[in-house]
Amino acid sequence: MDLHGVCVISLTPFSATGEVDGASLCTLTDFYLQAGVHGIVLLGIMGEANKLTEPERDVVVDTVVQRVGGQVPVVVGVSAAGTRIAQFYARRAEHLGANAVMLAPPTNVRNLDLVLHHYQAVGETTPLALVVQDEPSSTGVNLPPGFFARVANEVPTARYAKLEEPPTPVKISAIETLVPHHYRMFGGLGGMYFYEELGRGAVGVMTGFAYPEVLVQVYEHFAAGSREEAREIFYRYLPLIRFEAQLGVSGVAIRKQVYQSRGVIASSHVRSPAPTGDEHTRDELADMIQYFRL
């Protein structure tokens, strides 16, 4: 299935005692579909993938794949410190019915030849489309535009990139001049540059922004050629998008609180260790939500 549009980075809901909450995962998936998202991305940073056991990872993927029932593509994060682990995750994702996998460089491996080998090895493990996740703030690895050209030309399954090194619009333009026509790019960074990314040739965005329906409207207007309407909606909600994007590591907790307040998940529990955000931040967010009447 082709990836495009708003591919939401899914949360992993937990019960108040910290167990994977399958019922909330189903209602969350239903919410995403009703919001009109074009894809769902599991086991990313927003999904607290590094805090899940292997059986729990399988439960999350299987639950969402079954719930989606082929309505939109499901992308599964398979990032890991070691190549064999990433290959194992990729095989499990394929077995459970995923449509694509997303892979970041191993943390702090700055030798790009080794990083390329990592992508080649995982790409040879499964025929699923591979999304290169470019997120130097969490991996410690900077991927220059030329690296994407190497991946696109040397890893047949590598067809997409998710870019998170600001300024993303500039990087999209730099990469686009180097990669084959079939290679497509997504923005990230909470959607903070989504309108500009689309203007530079991105095919969509991958983000955990807690109001995905807003980004869906932006994308659909843009794709229909109504750029003025897309820009108006994007600029209208940009303060909220910007606020969420600057939350950093506490963003998972804040977004879970938003989804709980919207009645989508039962608990805002985040597995430790994790900051929960201060009361003043929560008050600021509540004031902003009230302003936008969301």
CA distances from 111 to 141, 216, 236 (A): 9, 37, 42
Of the CA atoms within 13 Å of residue 87, those in its CB half-sphere come to: 12
Quote the pLDDT of residue 233: 98
* pLDDT tens-digit readout, 10-26: 999 999 999 999 999 99
Does this model's pTM top 0.85? My answer is yes
Say yes or no to pLDDT of 281 above 90: no
* pLDDT tens-digit readout, 202-216: 999 999 999 999 999
* pLDDT tens-digit readout, 221-246: 999 999 999 999 999 999 999 988 87
Q: What is the mean pLDDT of residues 156-177?
A: 96
Query: Which residue in this structure is represented by tokens 């430790």?
Result: 272
Q: Is 40 exposed, middle or buried (0-12, 13-18, 19+ CB in 10 A)?
A: buried
Record the tokens describing residue 293, joined without a space.
Answer: 């009447």
* pLDDT tens-digit readout, 95-135: 999 999 999 999 999 999 999 999 999 999 999 999 999 99
Q: Is 109 helix (H, G, I), strand (E, B) or coil?
A: coil
* pLDDT tens-digit readout, 170-207: 999 999 999 999 999 999 999 999 999 999 999 999 99
Alpha helices in the chain (DSSP H): 22-35, 54-68, 83-95, 112-125, 136-139, 145-154, 168-176, 194-199, 212-223, 227-245, 251-261, 279-292
pLDDT category, 248, cuts 50, 70, 90?
low
Every domain of the chain and the residues it spans: 5-292
Say yes or no to pLDDT of 249 above 60: no
Quote the pLDDT of residue 246: 75
Is-contact 104 128, C-beta < 8 A?
Answer: no
Residues 6+ apart with CB under 8 A from 163: 134, 171, 172, 175, 185, 186, 187, 188, 197, 202
Q: What is the mean pLDDT of residues 76-99?
A: 98
- Considering only residues 257 and 7, tell me which one the structure prediction assigns the higher pLDDT: 7
Quote the pLDDT of residue 274: 82
Q: What is the mean pLDDT of residues 66-89?
A: 98
Residues 128, 97: Cα–Cα separation, whole Å: 10
For the domain spanning 5-292, the CATH number is: 3.20.20.70
Quote the pLDDT of residue 63: 98
Quote the pLDDT of residue 25: 98
Record the tokens describing residue 52, joined without a space.
Answer: 């899940």
Sort strands 204-207 and 5-9 into parallel, antiparallel or unpaired. Answer: parallel
